[in-house]
Structure 1
Amino acid sequence: MSKLPTLREDDGMATVEYAIGILAAAALGGVLYLIVNSEAVVAGLTALIERALSVKF
């Protein structure tokens, strides 16, 4: 006679935790993408690069 598997209260929690972590990382990535593509950041980076390229040696 084989034993039936016992279910614990936390079975499947690791999978849920990974899913929540992935969602949080994706949300953070989306926010950072919006910030980097904002007009102010793009203008600042463009000005910085133009200034760096216009330096005379």
Structure 2
Amino acid sequence: MKEGRIFLYVSPNVIIPIMFLVLVLASLAVHYSILSNTTWFADFWQGAAVTAEAAAAPAP
């Protein structure tokens, strides 16, 4: 297991929190991009009804 050798050089007390923070930041970046680049998502949270155009569009 080559990946396990990293713990010979870096303490798990250091690398595990860093990996967790990277995971959290990546998740927040994805959520921010969805919220800022779509027009329908805010309407969805506000409970807006689906328009006829969106309901008639075929799923990809």
- With structure 2 as the length reference, what TM-score do the two structures score? 0.49
Q: Does 1:45 align with 2:41?
A: yes
- Structure in which a larger fraction of residues adopt helix: 2
Seq. identity, %:
8
Structure 2 alignment gaps of length 5 or more: 1-7, 50-60
Q: What do you get for the CA RMSD once the two structures are aligned?
A: 2.3
- With structure 1 as the length reference, what TM-score do the two structures score? 0.51
Higher CA-based Rg: 1
- Deviating beyond 3 angstroms after TM superposition, the runs of 4 or more aligned structure 1 residues are none
Could you tell me how far 1:18 is from its partner in structure 2?
1.6
**Count of residue pairs the alignment pairs up:** 38
Structure 1 alignment gaps of length 5 or more: 1-12
